[in-house]
Structure 1
Amino acid sequence: MDRLEAMRLFTRVVDRRSFTQAANDLEIPRSTATQVIKQLEDRLGVKLLQRTTRTVRPTLDGEAYYRRCLAILDDIEDAEGAFSGAVPKGMLRIEVQGTLARHFLMPSLPRFFAAYPQIEIAMSESDRWVDVIREGCDCVLRYGALPDSDLIARPVTSLERITCAATSYLEKYGAPTSLDDLANHRAVCLRSITTGALRPFEFVEAGQVTKVDMAVPLSVTGTESFLEAVRLGFGLAQMPLFHIERDLAEGRLQRVLAPYALPPGPVSILYPRARQLSPRVRVFIDWVIQQFSPVGR
């Protein structure tokens, strides 16, 4: 097996966390896969994998080599895929925010696989800022304002946001009718995993964004915990409408301060600047944009 094929085998072992599954994927005997990885470790002079009875994981050296292998193999695939008529195929590594994935992507994912049966997706779920190149991601789907970076950020859509609270909270504290009333209320806020900063309450007045300071007895970093805290009545919140439509319809949450508009929530897909997009990445980005198109901008 040549070096490129050994790299492909090694990355597949890491992805699958299994010699047996990797060997099955590449249609080679397991004994051959084990021998090739041992020869690779001998040639490099480092231990690449930690083996247990249940799983296989990369060592620190193995993780570094894995990232380098991904970059090399992706460059080769991108070069070949640059020619017209190339069939989208291979592993697609994406990072998404879980709420967006569950609401917009997962329901239509079977149709994507039916259209592109040779593409595999490895989806990571997180709200943190991802180092796309270092972590080997092909693209990242993000909600909210983006920090400065060298990545290309392609706008996908803008999601309507509203101010809301649990019915139980409003029964206890009353509903605010003006921004001045917010001084007597408490808020539940999202806190950035990266910076620790709270996402402020924001309203649009006369074309300008106004930030309002409120008491924040509870802040969280996860969107599901954020929603549950609002449902439990810990305070007012500002949330994307799509995320709470069922709660509004079933009366658990109520909209407040409806006359006061909020800045919309931008959704973007990001990918490395210095890379010719492979066919699998191009078709995935186009498909993602289609999934958000009914939402409107």
Structure 2
Amino acid sequence: MDRVTAATVFNRICELGSLSAAARALDISRPMVSRYLEEMEKWAGARLLHRSSRKLTITPSGEKILEKTRALARLAEDITGQEADGQPQGTLRVACAHSTATHILGPMIPGFLARYPAVRIELEINNQPVSLIGERIDVAVRITDDPEPGAIARRLGECISVVCAAPDYLQARGTPQTPDDLAQHNCLHYSRFAGQRWQFYDTQGEIISTEVNGNFSAGISSVLCDAAIAGCGLAMVPEMEARQGIDSGQLQTVMPHYQPKTLAIYGLYMSRDRQPAALRAFLDAVKLAINVG
């Protein structure tokens, strides 16, 4: 059997999560899909998928093979001239957090798809980091100072944060002037962080760190903004998340002489080899949206 086709079928099974769905997408019979999968497992010398009556799950060996079959499929496309003109095409599975989807990717994707109509984007929104291979993700857009080990990290821009609260809260509790003053305030924070320390650049550009405490935490910055607007306390959130509340007067920024430490925004993907034109174009578009916006 054609091993390139077998690799393509395996990729499609992993993308869609079932043999039947892959058969429909490729317009071949389900028994033929099974035969191609058997050929791939024979070629790899390992079980690639755990099959049950309810679902398919990829094995550790399957994850390693999937990375290689994706590269093989891209190479086959190049050889057959499908991207000979360099025009982006194909499906991109993109992972990001809720705030990134709302404020960065959501606004720029319609224009991107209008410019590149042969590209299809599947956006996976998850506030927890996902496995690029295990979840079949082509690129993850993440705000972090610690990119995933083993992934290629392209820096796309910076995320600027602010410390803010509702005017009524500040009138009742006072307005902090320095990070040391935060000890006297209810600080709303991200639940996924084990230790709660907020970091700032002081007036000399040096990083200072202060421990904060509060009675509410959440894993989504929009929820922290809502709690701050409701008068629950101070929140450190991305400026893009707080902008609407600030402009409307529902939120007020504090400590103008102490800028919260910025975090980088990265595009994370697994390989530099045979990088699809769609991925290159998408990362360029995200970078432009971040730096122009």
The residue that corresponds to 2:158 in the other structure is 158
- Tell me if the contact between 1:67 and 1:135 (Cα under 8 Å) persists in the aligned partners: no
Q: Deviations over 1:163-190 (max 9, x none)?
A: 1012342243122234443231121112
Task: Indicate the SS of the match to 1:207.
Answer: coil
Q: Deviations over 1:195-226 (max 9, x none)?
A: x3335242423110111223232233333333
Task: Give the distance between the partners of 1:207 and 1:50, measured in 2 at CA.
Answer: 57
Identity level (%)? 24
- Tell me if the contact between 2:197 and 2:209 (Cα under 8 Å) persists in the aligned partners: no
What is the Cα deviation at residue 112 of structure 1?
1.8
* Stretch deviating more after TM superposition (77-86 or 162-171): 77-86
The residue that corresponds to 2:238 in the other structure is 240
Task: Give the distance between the partners of 1:91 and 1:68, measured in 2 at CA.
Answer: 20
Task: Give the distance between the partners of 1:89 and 1:148, measured in 2 at CA.
Answer: 27
Task: Give the distance between the partners of 1:132 and 1:41, measured in 2 at CA.
Answer: 22
What is the Cα deviation at residue 85 of structure 1?
2.7
Q: Is 1:70 the counterpart of 2:66 in the alignment?
A: yes
The residue that corresponds to 2:143 in the other structure is 143
Q: TM-score, normalised by structure 1?
A: 0.79
Task: Give the distance between the partners of 2:134 and 2:104, measured in 1 at CA.
Answer: 27
What is the Cα deviation at residue 66 of structure 1?
5.3
What is the Cα deviation at residue 7 of structure 1?
4.1
Q: Which runs of 5+ in 1 are unaligned?
A: none
- Distance change in 2, residues 1:25/1:131 (3 Å): closer
Matches within 5 A, 1:177-256: 177-192=177-192, 196-256=194-254
Task: Indicate the SS of the match to 1:215.
Answer: coil
Task: Give the distance between the partners of 1:77 and 1:6, measured in 2 at CA.
Answer: 10
Amino acid across the alignment from 1:257? M
Q: Deviations over 1:248-274 (max 9, x none)?
A: 222322112223323333212222355
Amino acid across the alignment from 1:164? C
- Tell me if the contact between 1:13 and 1:19 (Cα under 8 Å) persists in the aligned partners: yes
Task: Indicate the SS of the match to 2:162.
Answer: strand
Instruction: Count residues in correspondence.
Output: 283
Task: Give the distance between the partners of 1:92 and 1:157, measured in 2 at CA.
Answer: 21
Task: Indicate the SS of the match to 1:155.
Answer: strand
- Distance change in 2, residues 1:160/1:39 (3 Å): closer
- Tell me if the contact between 1:162 and 1:258 (Cα under 8 Å) persists in the aligned partners: no
Task: Give the distance between the partners of 1:81 and 1:2, measured in 2 at CA.
Answer: 15
Q: Which runs of 5+ in 2 are unaligned?
A: none
What is the Cα deviation at residue 126 of structure 1?
2.6
The residue that corresponds to 2:25 in the other structure is 25
Q: TM-score, normalised by structure 2?
A: 0.80
Task: Give the distance between the partners of 2:11 and 2:205, measured in 1 at CA.
Answer: 51
The residue that corresponds to 2:262 in the other structure is 264
The residue that corresponds to 2:112 in the other structure is 112
Task: Give the distance between the partners of 1:135 and 1:10, measured in 2 at CA.
Answer: 14
Task: Give the distance between the partners of 1:97 and 1:211, measured in 2 at CA.
Answer: 25
The residue that corresponds to 2:88 in the other structure is 88
Amino acid across the alignment from 1:72? K
Task: Give the distance between the partners of 2:70 and 2:105, measured in 1 at CA.
Answer: 24
Task: Indicate the SS of the match to 1:205.
Answer: coil
- Tell me if the contact between 1:150 and 1:273 (Cα under 8 Å) persists in the aligned partners: no
- Distance change in 2, residues 1:111/1:182 (3 Å): closer
Task: Give the distance between the partners of 2:263 and 2:4, measured in 1 at CA.
Answer: 43
* Stretch deviating more after TM superposition (224-233 or 35-44): 35-44
Task: Give the distance between the partners of 1:198 and 1:118, measured in 2 at CA.
Answer: 45
Pairing partner for 1:36 from 32, 39, 44: 32
Matches within 5 A, 1:162-177: 162-177=162-177
